[in-house]
């Protein structure tokens, strides 16, 4: 699609049976932030994947590389029918500084993914200098791993959280945690 690249596809089946195909739309190149702006887009199939709608952007437009919404992770909440989308953006995971760190945002899809909320920044609840948890306050970077999360029988939603707990920027320093919500 022009000078755009699509990465990180994920499928979710809405409560009404529609198939929703999500992807990053990386503007101007396939790389991660902070190299290119990233938006989250979706296509819908109402006939089990035979035909697909036009692309719909579910995140706000990303006019600059320092305001992005990518690496989406998704769960269909079986109780409410809402589609929970976690995205990350703004700063690169391995290039982060203490005052410039990736933001984690929540976007909620209602009405079988026809209506999407504005992104809610939940970074401070998870990590960073404004987090109330003393250990997580020290983390340098975190992002929710792209793809599908899991919802347990009791309703708890689980995502994998990748964490760079220190200034070390190598693969050996990365840790994984479970991010959950009841």
Helix, strand, coil content of the chain in percent (nearest 5)? 5, 45, 50
Of residues 69, 132, 155, the one with CA closest to residue 104: 69
The arithmetic mean of pLDDT across residues 169-175, rounded, is: 88
| CB contact set of 60 (below 8 Å; sequence gap of 6+) | 39, 67, 69, 118, 119
Q: How far apart are CA 19 and CA 112, in angstroms?
A: 10
Give the predicted TM-score (pTM) of the model.
Answer: 0.94
- pLDDT tens digit sequence for 58-110: 999 988 878 899 999 999 999 999 999 999 999 988 888 878 899 999 999 99
Does the N-terminal peptide bond of residue 34 adopt cis geometry, omega within 30 degrees of 0? Answer: yes
């Amino acid at each position: 699609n022009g000078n755009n690249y699509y990465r990180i596809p994920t499928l979710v089946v809405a409560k009404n049976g529609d198939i929703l195909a999500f992807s990053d739309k990386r503007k101007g190149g396939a790389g991660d932030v902070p190299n290119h702006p990233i938006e989250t887009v979706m296509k819908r199939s109402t006939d089990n994947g035979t035909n697909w709608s036009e692309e719909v952007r579910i995140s706000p437009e990303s006019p600059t590389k320092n305001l992005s919404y990518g690496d989406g992770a998704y769960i269909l909440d079986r109780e409410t029918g809402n589609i929970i989308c976690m995205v990350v953006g703004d700063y690169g995971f391995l290039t982060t500084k203490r005052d410039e760190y990736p933001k984690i945002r929540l976007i909620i899809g209602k009405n079988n993914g026809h209506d999407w909320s504005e992104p809610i920044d939940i970074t401070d609840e998870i990590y960073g200098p404004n987090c109330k948890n003393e250990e997580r306050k020290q983390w340098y970077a975190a992002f929710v791993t792209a793809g599908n999360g899991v919802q347990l029988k009791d309703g708890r939603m689980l995502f994998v959280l990748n964490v760079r707990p220190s200034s070390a920027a190598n693969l050996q320093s990365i840790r994984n945690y479970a991010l959950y919500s009841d």
